[in-house]
Amino acid sequence: MAIQLDSITYTYGVGTPFEKQALSGISLSIENGEFLGIIGHTGSGKSTFVQHLNGLLHPTTGTVTVNGVDISAKTEEAKTMRHKVGMVFQYPEHQLFEETIAQDIAFGPKNLGLPDDEVDRRVREAMQFVGLHYDIYAERSPFHLSGGQMRRVAIAGVIAMEPDFLVLDEPSAGLDPFGREEIFEQIIKLHKEKGITVILVSHNMEDISRMATRLIVLDKGQVVLDGEPLTIFKDHRQVLQSVGVDVPPVSVLIESLRERGLPISNDILTVDDAVEAIVEGGQHVK
C-alpha cells in the first residue's frame, strides 16, 4: 500500500507561448502510515505535485501508481484507487454547495454509489470526527457557519470518502490560531487513530516540524531535500535558505542560544520542548 511516483514531469500549456515546466523529474515513494510534510517557496510546484497524487493532473511524462495501479488509466480499478486518495484543497470551504451540512458531506459517499444507510453512517462518523454534533448541525445550512466550522464541514466531506491517503493543501490558511490548532488536532487524530497516510502541504514550518514524520522540500519542480524534519532543519539550513524556505523560529532560537554557550541539545522542534530544555540548560549555567 503506497503511492509511487516514477520520474514525473509536468508542463503547463504545452505548445503555447506560456509553456512552463512545473515539475521536472520527481521520483518518490510515499509509504503507508507516513505523515509527509511538503514545503517549498511559492511557485515551487507544491500544488501541482499534490494534484498528481489522485489523478487530478496527469504527468506529462512518468507514471503515478497507487497500490501498484497506474491511476492515469481509464479503468474502474484506477478510478477506485483515485478515490483512495482524498484531497483537501486550499480554502476547501469554497466548495460547499448543498442546502444542509449533512447533504454536503454525503456528496462524496453518494458519488461512490454507496447505499443510503452506509452514506448516513459515514456522514455521522465524519461529523463526529471533525467535532460537529450531528443533531445540532446536520440540518443547518453550511453557509451560516463561521469560517473555521465551514472548513471542518469541507474536511468532513473528504473524510466521509474514507480515503487511505489524505492530501491537505495549506489546511490552516486564513484561520485564527485557535481554529488552526483544532484543524491540526483533527489531522493528527486521523493519522494516529485511523492510520490514514497524511500528506500535508504548508508554509508554516512549525506545524510541519511538529507533525510530519518525513519532510520533502521542493524547489523549481524538483525534490531538493527528503528526510526527517529534525535532520533537515538541523543539518540543511543553508539549503533551506537558498530555496527561500524559513527554518522554524524555535530551531533558530535554540541555535543562537547554543552559539552563546547555553548547553542545550539541538534536536528540539516544538515550543514546549524548547521551554523545558532552556529552563534545564539555564540551571546548568548557574
Partner 1 sequence: MLNNITIGQYFPGNSFIHRMDPRAKIIATTIFIIAIFLANTPLAYGIVGAFTVGALLLSRLPLNLLWRSVKPLWIIIVFTMGIHIFTTPGESLFSYGIINITDKGVAMGLQMGARLIFLILFSSLLTYTTSPIRLTDGIEHLLSPFRRIGVPAHELAMMMTIALRFIPTLLDETDRIMKAQSARGADFVTGSLIQRAKNMVPLLVPLFISAFRRADELAIAMEARCYRGGVNRTRMKELTITPIDYIGVGTVILVTVVLIVLWWLHR
User: What CA–CA distance (Å, rounded) separates 201 from 146?
Assistant: 23
Asked if 12 touches partner 1 (CB under 8 A), the answer is yes
User: What CA–CA distance (Å, rounded) separates 209 from 229?
Assistant: 6
**Residue 143 cell numbers, joined:** 453557509
User: What CA–CA distance (Å, rounded) separates 213 from 228?
Assistant: 6
Nearest CA-CA partner of 54 in 96, 8, 3, 111: 3
User: DSSP assignment of 153-199, as one string?
Assistant: HHHHHHHTT--SEEEEESTTTT--HHHHHHHHHHHHHHHHHS--EEE
Cβ-based nearer residue to partner 1, 166 or 277: 166
Asked if 103 touches partner 1 (CB under 8 A), the answer is no
Question: E strand or H helix at 257, and its extent?
Answer: helix 249-259
Chain residues 45-74 in contact with partner 1, contact rule CB under 8 A: 51, 54, 56
Which residue among 89, 137, 184, 233 contacts partner 1 (CB under 8 A)?
A: 89
Chain residues 130-159 in contact with partner 1, contact rule CB under 8 A: 143, 157-158
Which residue among 33, 77, 97, 227 contacts partner 1 (CB under 8 A)?
A: 97
Which residue among 107, 140, 148, 224 contacts partner 1 (CB under 8 A)?
A: 107
Burial class of residue 273 (count of CB atoms within 10 Å of its CB; 0-12, 13-18, 19+): middle
Q: Residue 284: how many CB atoms within 10 A of its CB?
A: 9
Asked if 86 touches partner 1 (CB under 8 A), the answer is yes
- Interface stretch with partner 1, choices 28-36, 89-97, 118-126, 198-206 (CB under 8 A): 89-97
Shortest Cβ 89–partner 1 spacing (Å): 5
Are residues 153 and 130 in contact, defined by beta-carbon separation less than 8 angstroms? yes
Cβ-based nearer residue to partner 1, 95 or 213: 95
Cβ-based nearer residue to partner 1, 157 or 248: 157
User: What CA–CA distance (Å, rounded) separates 93 from 207?
Assistant: 21
Chain residues 160-199 in contact with partner 1, contact rule CB under 8 A: 161
User: What CA–CA distance (Å, rounded) separates 158 from 127?
Assistant: 11
Residues near partner 1 (CB under 8 A), total: 23
Cβ-based nearer residue to partner 1, 201 or 269: 201
Positions that interact with partner 1 (CB under 8 A): 12-13, 17, 51, 54, 56, 83, 86-87, 89, 92, 94-97, 107-108, 111-112, 143, 157-158, 161
